[in-house]
Amino acid sequence: MSRGSGKNARLRLVFPKRTAYGSRVNKTVIEVQVRAVLPTSGGCAVFLGNNDKVFIIYVDQTVGSAITMFMRDVSKERPLTHDLMGHLMTALGAHVERVIINDLKNATYFARIIIRAENELQQKKIVELDARPSDCIAMAVQQKAPIYVSQEVWDEVDDMSDVLRKMEEEGLKPDPETESESSEEED
């Protein structure tokens, strides 16, 4: 783990990555936070970043609304899908340890969710699963787990800091009506 210096210092961590043959290689990652979730005509734009850079991942409306509700600690009348996943993990003695957005191919992001579980005998287990970045982000926000981006992805994405700053200056925020519509559930 290393830290830069100054006000724009960023935390760099190196997590081992297994190759197809089981050997381990180190992959540098950068911690990011969800900076904003804004509705678009086709879903939601999730702005991820830190003081150095911000980039966008587009997600469907339901996951964008779930991320927003977790960010705002909105209570729901009935559990939604990500709530169910969180309750199930808690019941099994597991929690999200971290999320890594680890690849970008043909404008599609890939991610891994790392889950730590402990059974009633205090035996610990780490499970790493391939998952949609949108679901990983929702689960990380729900469980207050860190979100990381691989150095390769970080270097490839365009910096959207100015776009986010301009939108914030103009007062653009997520639409509360959009959020409440997605929280309604059919039985």
For the chain, 187 residues long, the average pLDDT of each consecutive 10-residue run is: 46 51 65 95 96 96 95 90 93 95 96 91 90 97 97 96 90 50 41
DSSP state of 78: S
pTM for the model = 0.77
The pLDDT tens digits for 59-89 are 999 999 999 999 999 988 888 899 999 999 9
Structural contact between residues 6 and 119, judged by C-beta atoms closer than 8 angstroms: no
Residue 133, classed as helix, strand or coil, is helix
At residue 34's C-alpha, the angle toward residues 76 and 88, to 5°, is 45
What the block records as the tokens of 134 is: 């949108």
d(CA 164, CA 119): 43
CB atoms within 10 A of CB 139: 24
Q: Which of 140, 73, 71 is nearest to 101 (CA)?
A: 140
Beta bridge partners of 97: none
For the chain, domain boundaries = 9-176
User: Rounded to the nearest 10 degrees, what angle do helices 61-71 and 81-91 cross at?
Assistant: 60
Architecture of domain 9-176: Roll (3.10)
Read out DSSP for 144-186?
T--EEEEHHHHHHSPP-HHHHHHHHHTT----HHHHHHHH---
Exposure string over 32-48, b if 16+ CB within 10 A, otherwise e: bebbbbbbeeebbbbbb
27: burial class by Cβ within 10 Å (0-12, 13-18, 19+)?
Answer: middle
